[in-house]
Chain A
Amino acid sequence: MLLYALKRLIYVLPVAFGVSVVCFMLVHLAPGDPLTAIMPIDATAEQQAQMRAAYGFDKPLPVQYGIWLFKVLHGDLGASIASGRSVASEVGRAVGNSLILAALATLIGFGFGTFFGFVAGYFRGSLLDRLASLVSILGVSVPHYWLGMVMVIVFSALLGWLPSTGAGPGGSTAWAFDWEHIRYIILPAFTMSAIPMGIIARTVRALVSDILSQDFVQALRAKGMGEGAVFRHVVRNAAPTALAVMGLQLGYLLGGSILIETVFAWPGTGFLLNTAIFQRDLPLLQGTILVLALFFVGLNLIVDVLQSSLDPRIQRG
């Protein structure tokens, strides 16, 4: 088990290295260099050169990468070009808010998704199955930023039950576990849960109908086991894969939350990315994406190791 975890970890290191290269190159994709966008138009060539030297953009790319990587490994993601603040602390502040939203959305999606998946898998071919399948198709097809707008239209504009934007009363950006704050998370969390719900429902439906058609289920029934006990066997066999899909969905949601965070003005990493893009603040863009991608890589690793410890048959070579 430990050996397998170590093997996966060694496999992940080159991927993490690749991720860092991609994130580094992001800044150099744009025409010119990261300073072109913010340089005053009337800056003389000498001033421009000075500024480039100050940010280290005058050195060859591999050297710049080396310096950047060294700093990143020491927890220094550079300074935001627009605000001058440390990127690491900006991301650190935002990532908590995103994590709460993504985790809650994953839980809601997992709850509804497994329910619909089980119903569809148990009553395969019935009207219930078709209804559940329809829900999962709608879940994976819906443009979630539009769903967010519709939720705001219905629950804020028309019914007036819930606030439409923000993370707390009075524009507060710090999260707290009280009703005043929970009110603000309900709409974005349910909107976000549509995607994992559809995917988890699909997965669980396939899993359940596959398990039910296996010989051991027939053997359990043949020896007179009640449906409730058979159900427990089905759950135990479906759990490792379903939980792994849930773990991956959390990563996808955290990385893909920018659209929903924009609709609901949720003060997380998506909102930070949005700011970075529109102020052409490339160090902030780079740092946020690096943190989110590395988080995703780490989550994949954890899911993989947990899954294989729950079910040793699925070890990847």
Chain B
Amino acid sequence: MTAVDLSAVPIPPAERSEGYWASVLRRLRRDPVAMAALAVILLLVLAAILAPYLAPADPFRGSMARRLRPVGTPGFPLGSDELGRDMLTRLMFGGRLSLFMGVTPVVLAFAIGSGIGIFAAYVGGWVNTVVMRIIDVFFAFPSVLLAIALSGALGAGILNSIVSLTVVFVPQIARIAEAVTTQTRNRDFVEAARISGASPLTIVRVHILGNVLGPIFVYATSLISVSMILSSGLSFLGLGVKPPEPEWGLMLNTLRTAIYNQPLVAALPGVMIFITSIAFNLFSDGLRGAMEVRQ
């Protein structure tokens, strides 16, 4: 209740932004869908981190004699893959690379894209025009095409896949950051700060960042789902992780030959990508809902 009372009285900006985040959290906690999505995400992350301790088998050791066992075989709760390796183990270990390679590009693009967008909007003038026109060029490529073009030219590999996807997301985040910052920059309190003698750095740090990072962050979270699908997609094409490393997209690719013998087992890695992607989408929607109420 105190948080509600606080938001009604005018208080200095630094404290008010803290109250704002507290109220966002409170609203988010009341959203059952967003909380369920968050629980699923945490569960997936925990399973990935604790895979070496929890997984029942070795993710690399297989046996030709026990290839493509169906789901529910004793000793293979989720079956075994085309080289006789335990699917449950590989799905848990696969989460490590899949989540890492899906989330990292968005985190990097969030840092780089916000930097570019906020800088361009704050400086304004021809600098802004030039930066935004360059960004327009990247918007001329559908994201999937740009990701595949870049990683196709750079060659396969975990690092190249992360770099390609980061390049895909930087322009998208920069465009949002520029739009939000331009809006904020023209608000009265920024003008007031400038007149009262605040240095540009102080204005950006206190008045701009506090107001623009939230919306940019929400937009970035909505990209994680796309990033997961794309990064696994690159591995599915053979452009990301190399065998025998466990990764959901690559597992889906190597199991394609098994769709006639063990369709259920072959589809499992995709189910993991699907679940992760839905969870991030629902959580991002909930976060946006929780943040938009007061704007």
A binds B: yes
A residues whose Cβ falls under 8 Å from a Cβ of B:
14-16, 18-19, 21-23, 26-27, 29-31, 137-138, 140-147, 149-150, 152-153, 157-158, 251-252, 254-256, 258-259, 262-263, 273-274, 276-278, 280, 282, 285, 289, 292-293, 296-297, 300
Contact B153 A274 (CB under 8 A): no
- Which of chain A's residues have a CB closer than 8 A to the CB of B282? 137
A256 and B140 form a contact (CB under 8 A): no
Contacts of B152 in A (CB 8 A): 273, 276-277, 285
> Of the candidates B140, B150, B263, which one forms a contact with A15 in the assembled complex, judged by CB atoms under 8 Å apart?
B140
* Contact yes or no, A22 B141, CB < 8 A: yes
Please, how many angstroms separate the alpha-carbon atoms of A258 and B239 in the complex? 12
Asked, given contacts A30-B155, A149-B256, A149-B266, whether A259 binds B278 with beta carbons under 8 Å apart, the answer is no
The interface residues of chain B lying within 8 Å CB-to-CB of A23 are 149
Q: Which residue, B149, B259, B266, B270, has most C-beta atoms of chain A within 10 A?
A: B149
Chain B contact residues, CB within 8 Å of chain A: 133-134, 136-138, 140-145, 148-150, 152-155, 225, 229, 232-233, 236-239, 252, 256, 259-260, 263, 266-267, 269-271, 273-274, 277-278, 281-282, 285
Contact A30 B153 (CB under 8 A): yes
Contact present for A157 and B274 (CB under 8 Å) = no
Known: A138-B278, A289-B145. A150 touches B140 (CB 8 A): no
Q: How far is the CA of A255 from the CA of B154 in the complex (A)?
A: 19
Q: Could you write out 8 A-B pairs with CB less than 8 Å apart? A: A19-B141, A30-B155, A145-B233, A152-B259, A255-B144, A277-B239, A296-B142, A296-B145
Are A26 and B153 in touch, CB under 8 angstroms?
yes
B145 partner, pick from A30, A143, A255, A300, beta carbons under 8 A: A255
Contact with A18, one of B137, B267, B270 (Cβ below 8 angstroms): B137
- The winner among A23, A158, A273, A289 for most chain B CB atoms within 10 A is A289
Question: Which residue of A has the minimal Cβ distance to B281?
Answer: A141
Tell whether, in the assembled complex, residue B142 and residue A255 are in contact, meaning their CB atoms are under 8 Å apart: yes
**How far in angstroms is the closest Cβ of chain B from A35?**
14
Q: Give the chain B neighbours of A289 by CB distance below 8 A.
A: 141, 145, 149
Q: Once bound together, how far apart are the Cα atoms of A152 and B258, in whole Å?
A: 12
How many residue pairs at the A-B interface have CB separations less than 8 Å? Answer: 134
Query: Is A143 a contact of B142 with CB atoms below 8 Å?
Result: no
Q: Main secondary structure on chain A at its contact with chain B?
A: helix
In the complex, what residue of chain B is closest to A147 when comparing beta carbons?
Answer: B270
| Residue with the greatest number of chain B CB neighbours at <10 A, chosen from A14, A137, A277, A296 | A277
Q: How far is the CA of A236 from the CA of B209 in the complex (A)?
A: 41
B255 to chain A, nearest CB (A): 9
Q: In whole angstroms, how far apart are the Cα atoms of A251 and B133 in the complex?
A: 20
Is B274 a contact of A18 with CB atoms below 8 Å? no
* A251-B142, A277-B239, A278-B238 given; A141·B274 CB < 8 A: yes
Give Cα A49–Cα B36 distance, bound, in whole angstroms: 61
Shortest C-beta distance, B168 to chain A (Å), equals: 12
Residues of B within 8 A of A256 (CB): 142-145
Q: Are B274 and A142 in contact (CB-based, < 8 A)?
A: yes
Whether A146 contacts B252 by the Cβ 8 Å rule is: yes
Which residues of B lie under 8 Å from residue A277 when comparing CB positions?
148, 152, 237, 239
CB distance from B142 to the nearest CB of A (A): 3
The answer on a CB contact under 8 Å between B141 and A296 is: yes
B263 proximity list for chain A (CB < 8 A): 153, 157-158
Apart from A14-B133, A149-B256, 20 more pairs, CB < 8 Å: A15-B133, A21-B137, A23-B149, A26-B153, A29-B153, A137-B281, A138-B278, A143-B229, A145-B270, A146-B270, A146-B274, A251-B142, A252-B143, A255-B141, A255-B144, A273-B148, A280-B155, A289-B145, A289-B149, A293-B140
Q: Check if A15 sits within 8 Å of B154, measured CB to CB.
A: no
Q: Please tell me which one of the listed residues A16, A22, A141, A153 contacts residue B278 in the complex, with CB atoms under 8 A apart.
A: A141
Contact B153 A19 (CB under 8 A): no
Question: CA of A282 to CA of B154 in the docked complex: distance in angstroms?
Answer: 11
The answer to whether B259 and A149 touch across the interface, beta carbons within 8 angstroms, is yes
Does the CB pair A30–B148 fall under 8 Å? no
A297 to chain B, nearest CB (A): 5
Q: How many Å lie between the Cα of A269 and that of B141 in the bound state?
A: 15
Q: How far is the CB of B157 from chain A (nearest CB, A)?
A: 11
Q: How far is the CB of B97 from chain A (nearest CB, A)?
A: 15
Option from B140, B148, B150, B281 in Cβ contact (under 8 Å) with A140: B281
CB contact between A259 and one of B154, B237, B259 (< 8 Å): that residue: B237
A-side contacts of B271, CB under 8 Å:
146
Residues of chain A within 8 A of B138, CB atoms compared: 22
Given A19-B137, A258-B148, verify A153-B267 contact (CB < 8 Å): yes
Give min CB distance, B135 to chain A, whole Å. Answer: 10
In the bound complex, how far is the Cα of B142 from the Cα of A297, in angstroms? 10
Residues on B with C-beta less than 8 A from A22 are 137-138, 141
From A138, A254, A259, A293, contact of B233 by CB (8 A): A259
Q: Shortest distance in angstroms between A310's beta carbon and chain B's nearest beta carbon?
A: 23
The residue that B140 contacts in the complex, of A18, A145, A149, A276, with Cβ under 8 A, is A18
> For residue B225, which residues in chain A have a CB less than 8 angstroms away from its CB?
140-141
Q: What's the minimum C-beta distance from A40 to chain B, rounded to whole angstroms? A: 19
A154 to chain B, nearest CB (A): 8
Q: How far is the CA of A36 from the CA of B233 in the complex (A)?
A: 27
